[in-house]
Amino acid sequence: MIQFILNNQKVLVDPKKSGMAFLDFLRKDKKLKGMKLVCKEGECGACTVLVGELKEDQVIYQSMTACIMPLANAHRKHIVTIEGINMDGLNKVQEEMVLQNGTQCGFCTPGFVVSMTGALLTGEVVSQENMIKNMDGNICRCTGYHSIMRASENIVTDIGGKAKSINTLIKKRYLPEYFKTIKKQLKSIATERDSSGILKRKEGIRLGGGTDLYVQKPNELYEAEPNHMYDKSSLNQIKIVGKEFRFGASVTMGDLYRSKEFNQSVPGQEEFFKLLSSTQIRNMATIGGNLMNASPIGDFTIFLLGLDAKIILANGAKKRKIFLKDFYLDYKKMDFKKGEYLKEIHFTIPQKENNFFSFEKVSLRKYLDIAGVNSACQITLDDQNKIKEAHISAGGVGPIPWYLKKTRKFLIGKPFNKTTIDKTLDVINKEITPISDARGTADYKRLLLRQLFLAHCLKIDENIYDLTTLIRS
């Protein structure tokens, strides 16, 4: 059976239901109606639940959107809904939301309360910045957010700073008493033999975090008994091997964000992660899923192309390693053979000297939105300021996540100066083939990629180019 703790109750579910969206399970099977169904695409956070897992003898919680979370991904975890946060009287988060009038129609409110409570349970510092970050996947149509932010500010005033223990949070009325028992309960589930069989499935549609597939075909997944990749431990490793950074395909964006190894290897990517969807989705979305989705605009794909990553494709014991840039053949077509699955992603850790790595993205809404165009750029200069290596990728400008091979060829050996940049703009413009769609007209995408390439260059040398000369007079 699939087993997990739902609020304060152990729950067993038939493995046949492993593909059911967790929110349907809550609302239809368990009749818990506190979490709301709004968008069914993880875009609004009204169904946010907390997912607690034992990590290094601590229960760490992550927020996720239940509407696109497979039931299987709850296996052996603690799932907290608004009902599991309620206590006798209001808890402190709820009380602040009431006092600051952080709720109007109330439909988004349980999701916000769960997200805010979750911000206290991630193990991170409790600050206003982190509180807001934890609400970046929650949409409210009534309040304009300021009242909610005033509520979170008061919470930070109350218990800001270093992460607090579960016991402290209980004492200070942020959590109900039963949270004390969760660690023990999770340990006992962990030691039981896993009888669900869901992690041993080899057949069926491969499903990771579900953040894309549930948007596309929720009903099919419910009936499909998918092959769940999310919790397969062989796909969840993060490590540094020699000069390479390596991670498994089921590693989530949230895992990388929190990974010490990753932050050592590619430092300063706070803003990049912030630009990737929302906290809830980052906690669910696997990098493997992002790559396999083959979206021409996938942020992580573009990021990894800029790092010139390689991927390991496995088929049973057989493995092959190819460059990510060679993986994408045409729109949603990949160099991918039957029986294969994406196992690992590797990239060479960028050298610290004379090497510049930059990611840029512009979308209609700055956060939690799909890019109009995104781009990553890694340029290595030699001692004479000549370009030794250049990896430039761009999304939204062709049928595949684009690695600009011609641009690379053009750049190598050239001095890094205005003349080179001017000529490169032409090369880029010739290399890409954007089309007009919901993300913008082709003209806009061409203009935007020009700007993003210049933005990369300005990060290397802010005086290298004068953009005002580009204004048409």
Partner 1 sequence: MTNNKNTKSTLKKDINLDAPFHVSGRTKYVDDLPELEGTCFAKAYYSRCAHGEIKKINFSKAEKLNGVVKILSHKDVPGENQIGGIVRDEPLLADKEVHFYGQPILLIIAESETIAEKAMKLIEVDYKEKEIIVDPREAYKKGSVLSSSRTFKLGNPTSKFKKCAYVFEGEADSGGQEHLYLETQGAYAIPKDQGGLLIHSSTQGPTAVQKVTANVLGLNMSQVEINVNRIGGGFGGKEDQASHWAALAGFGAFITKRPVKLILSRHEDLQMTGKRHPYRSDYKIGLDKDLKIIAYTASFYQNGGAAADLSPAVLERTLFHASNSYFIPNIEVTAHPCKTNLPPNTAFRGFGGPQGKFVIEAAIHRAANELNIPAHNIQKANLFKNGDEFSFGQKVENCEATKCWNDLSKRYELKRLEKEIEHFNKENKYFKKGIALQPICFGISFTNTPMNNARALVHVYNDGSVGVSTGAVEMGQGVNTKMVQVAAQAFGLTLDKIRLEDTNTTRVANTSPTAASATADLNGKALQDACQQIKDRILPLAGELLKEKNLKNISFVDGKVKAKRKNIDWVDLVQTALLRRINMSAKGHYSTPRINFDKKKEKGHPFAYHVYGNSIFVVTLDCIRGTYEFEAVKIVHDFGASMNKAVDLGQIEGGLVQGMGWMTLEDVVYNKKGLLKSNTLATYKVPDVYFVPKEIEVHFLKTNTDNLAILKSKAVGEPPLMYGLGAYFSIINAILAFNPNASISYDAPITTEKILMTLYS
C-beta of residue 122 within 8 angstroms of C-beta of residue 163: yes
Residues near 202 by Cβ (< 8 Å), separated by ≥ 6? 227
Q: Does 471 bind partner 1 (CB under 8 A)?
A: yes
| Binds partner 1 (CB under 8 A): choice among 193, 260, 338, 365 | 365
Q: For residue 416, what are its two tokens?
A: 């890094």
Q: Does 86 bind partner 1 (CB under 8 A)?
A: yes
138-157 mask for partner 1 (x: CB under 8 A)?
Answer: xxxxxxxxxxxx--------
| Binds partner 1 (CB under 8 A): choice among 198, 313, 370, 400 | 370
CB of 95 to partner 1, least distance (A): 7
Q: Does 227 bind partner 1 (CB under 8 A)?
A: no
DSSP class of residue 143 equals S
Instruction: Find the binding residues for partner 1 in span 23-82 (CB under 8 A).
Output: 31, 33-41, 43-44, 46, 81-82
Residues near 402 by Cβ (< 8 Å), separated by ≥ 6? 296, 305, 393, 394, 395, 431, 432
Which of 325/446 has CB closer to partner 1? 446
Which of 142/238 has CB closer to partner 1? 142
CB of 234 to partner 1, least distance (A): 32
Give the range of 161-169, 261-269, 361-369, 413-421 binding partner 1 by CB under 8 A.
361-369
Give the range of 85-93, 259-267, 329-337, 393-401 binding partner 1 by CB under 8 A.
85-93
Q: Does 305 bind partner 1 (CB under 8 A)?
A: no
Q: Does 317 bind partner 1 (CB under 8 A)?
A: no
| Binds partner 1 (CB under 8 A): choice among 7, 48, 94, 293 | 94
Dihedral sign computed on CA atoms, order 88, 89, 94, 96: negative
Q: From edge to edge, which strands make up the β-sheet containing 310-315? A: 238-241, 244-248, 341-348, 310-315, 318-323
* Burial degree of 282 (CB within 10 A; 0-12, 13-18, 19+): buried
| Length of the chain in terms of residues written | 473
Question: How far is the CA of 222 from the CAs of 205, 284, 353, in angstroms?
Answer: 11, 18, 50
Q: Does 461 bind partner 1 (CB under 8 A)?
A: no
Q: Which residue has the tokens 């075909």?
A: 217
CB of 143 to partner 1, least distance (A): 5
Q: For residue 336, what are its two tokens?
A: 């991918």
Give the range of 182-190, 368-376, 381-389, 397-405 binding partner 1 by CB under 8 A.
368-376
Please tell me the distance from the alpha carbon of residue 95 to that of residue 111, in angstroms, as a whole number.
15
Please tell me the distance from the alpha carbon of residue 322 to that of residue 92, in angstroms, as a whole number.
52
Q: Does 375 bind partner 1 (CB under 8 A)?
A: no
Residue type at position 231? D
Instruction: Find the binding residues for partner 1 in span 329-348 (CB under 8 A).
Output: none
Give the range of 70-78, 132-140, 154-162, 302-310 binding partner 1 by CB under 8 A.
132-140
Which of 368/392 has CB closer to partner 1? 368
Checking DSSP bridges between strand 2-6 and strand 78-80, what pairing results, if any?
parallel
Name the 3-class secondary structure at 247.
Answer: strand
DSSP class of residue 101 equals T
Q: Does 364 bind partner 1 (CB under 8 A)?
A: yes
Q: Does 294 bind partner 1 (CB under 8 A)?
A: no
Q: Does 108 bind partner 1 (CB under 8 A)?
A: yes
Q: Does 190 bind partner 1 (CB under 8 A)?
A: no
CB of 200 to partner 1, least distance (A): 28
